[in-house]
Amino acid sequence: MNNKKLYRSLADKKLCGVCGGIAEYFELDPTIIRLLWVVMTLFTAAFPGVLAYIICALIVPQQNQLP
């Protein structure tokens, strides 16, 4: 069984480490995740990307807080 955990990255972070953690979870380049997040934020109504980032930053634990 796959034991991957989603967390905010400490090594690859620009603001809170949300995009870095998502990139590590899906084994992608963090730049791709950041670009997708910016596109989602700029080109959708009411900027749901900003709200989603804030929620993820509050809910997703940091890498060093995992058991």
> Is residue 53 domain-resident?
yes
> Is residue 37 domain-resident?
yes
- Identify the segments of the chain with pLDDT beneath 50: none
> Is residue 41 domain-resident?
yes
Residue 30: Cβ within 10 Å count: 19
> Is residue 2 domain-resident?
no
pLDDT at 35: 92
Tell me which residue range forms the domain holding 23: 18-61
pLDDT at 58: 93
The one-letter amino acid at 38? V
Say if residue 60 is exposed, middle or buried (CB neighbours under 10 Å; 0-12, 13-18, 19+): buried
Looking at the 3D structure of the chain, how many domains does it have?
1
Q: Which residues of 4-26 are buried (b: 16+ CB within 10 A; e: fewer)?
A: eeebbbeeebeebbbbbbbbbee
